[in-house]
Structure 1
Amino acid sequence: MTEVAGTTGREGFTGELWRSIESIYREVLDHPFLRGLTDGTLPEECFRHYVLQDALYLREYARALSLAGVRSRDESALVMFDEHAVGAIAVERSLHEGFLKDLGVAREEAEGTAAAPTTLAYTSFLLRTATLGDYPEVLGAVLPCYWIYERVGKTLRERGSPTPRYQRWIDTYGGEEFGTLVEAVLDLTDGACDGLNPAQRARVMEAFVTTSRYEWMFWDAAWKLEGWPVG
């Protein structure tokens, strides 16, 4: 990957947030799962694991987005996050059903798939923060899934993939429509975090860094075909 971490063009607090994960983002771009998407070497079983777990993740992420909307005092934010939650479910149902059909996965198998350790840990952290954290912390927690995927999608789209299935995934997150959606969330986050004291800003940053780490871990779990070690 040739993209340089940190070149987002963002100022304000979200710019500070991105700078706090530059090293994580470099590791994301260099992960063999993502490199395998663009050079076509990613084993099908790894992509299959990813799609099954991502479907489970998106259901819980949609709940976290709904909670983010409820926690906001801004009616427009409530509407936006509710729309995004519906969109996450739509992606889970349509995009993933298409991939799973291509991969020969029956609906019964998909519905019977249990959350892997990383999936459960990531979604549990999201829902805990969305329930117990301050509203700005909630934004910090949900933001990496938007922003990292948008940045990764654009970078991978420049490279392309020889595998149509992987190119379809790349096009989903590398397009302008998704980029516009992410910009709206970034602007909202800057506004909501304006005027926070140092301790509050630190909590938002901690949530942002934590879920950014989980983003790397999620791809790594798919690469390693992660399962429960016992039981």
Structure 2
Amino acid sequence: MSTRTLTEELWASIEPIYAEILAHPFLGGLTDGTLPREAFRHFVVQDSHYLRDYARALAVCAAKAPGEEDVRAFADDAVGALAAEQGMHAEFLTAFGGSAEEAAAEPVLPTTRAYTSYLLATVYGGSFAEALGAVLPCYWIYARVGEALLAQGSPDPLYAKWIATYGDEAFQSVVRRVLALTDRLGEELSTAERRRVVEHFRTTSRYEWMFWDAAWRGERWPV
């Protein structure tokens, strides 16, 4: 058995990926205010699509969770994901002169489709531990990015608001709760299942980088 906690093993597995995330020009543009508005709009629209499926994934985690408190917590997080999509994103889209309804009618683009398809296949088809590994990067990486970007701030009020959402203590406390559950669960896993959890975690962490990169590139369906 590993002497490291599961969260220690998970984070060690993505340190190079996280370094690439922090170095990405999309995040740099958020903090120095130079990110093109169209890139941010692309991100917000695709994130709205993503969060609807992420909420479904969290609901499946709630159904598979081992204890009543965990069921309640993941169900609450699923509701919270939808609330973020309906509230914060609607506010951002209004700032762009559009609406949530218009954004919902826009296509789900390749990286978003790939990420959510992988996420849903894993949570439906795998164990609770595997499901947790797959959904965890969206919690944890955003918390770490939020902390890092909050320390830098942004001269752009719109970008500063986005940064504050994930750097905020309320979000950080939710992530700490999920990480504590991850370590409790890690004590009970076989070596083989632990390996599967790490693989899912690393895969969806890569998708997190790809999601920001897709917005930066203005990704569209090629045909």
TM-score range, shorter chain: over 0.9
Which position in structure 1 is the counterpart of 2:197? Answer: 204
Structure 1 runs (4+) greater than 4 angstroms displaced: none
* Pairs within 5 Å for 1:72-151: 72-151=65-144
Choose the corresponding residue for 2:44, options 38, 46, 51.
51
Which position in structure 2 is the counterpart of 1:179? Answer: 172
Contiguous gaps of at least 5 residues in structure 1: 1-10
Amino acid at match of 1:73: P
- 2:87 partner SS: helix
Q: What CA distance in whole angstroms lies between the structure 2 residues aligned with 1:171 and 1:162?
A: 13
Q: What CA distance in whole angstroms lies between the structure 1 residues aligned with 2:20 and 2:111?
A: 17
- Alpha carbons of structure 1 residues 183 and 107: separation in structure 2 relative to 1, 3 Å: closer
Task: Give 1:107 shift.
Answer: 3.9
Q: TM-score, normalised by structure 1?
A: 0.94
Q: What CA distance in whole angstroms lies between the structure 2 residues aligned with 1:45 and 1:169?
A: 15
Choose the corresponding residue for 1:165, options 155, 158, 168.
158
Amino acid at match of 2:142: Y
Which position in structure 1 is the counterpart of 2:30? Answer: 37
Q: What CA distance in whole angstroms lies between the structure 1 residues aligned with 2:141 and 2:100?
A: 29
CA-to-aligned-CA distance 1:111-146 (integer Å, 9 cap, x gap): 211111000000011100010011101000000000
Contiguous gaps of at least 5 residues in structure 2: none
Identity of aligned residues (%): 56
Q: How many residue pairs end up in the alignment?
A: 220
- The alignment yields a C-alpha RMSD, in angstroms, of 0.9
Which position in structure 2 is the counterpart of 1:188? Answer: 181
Task: Give 1:85 shift.
Answer: 0.4
Q: What CA distance in whole angstroms lies between the structure 2 residues aligned with 1:70 and 1:39?
A: 42
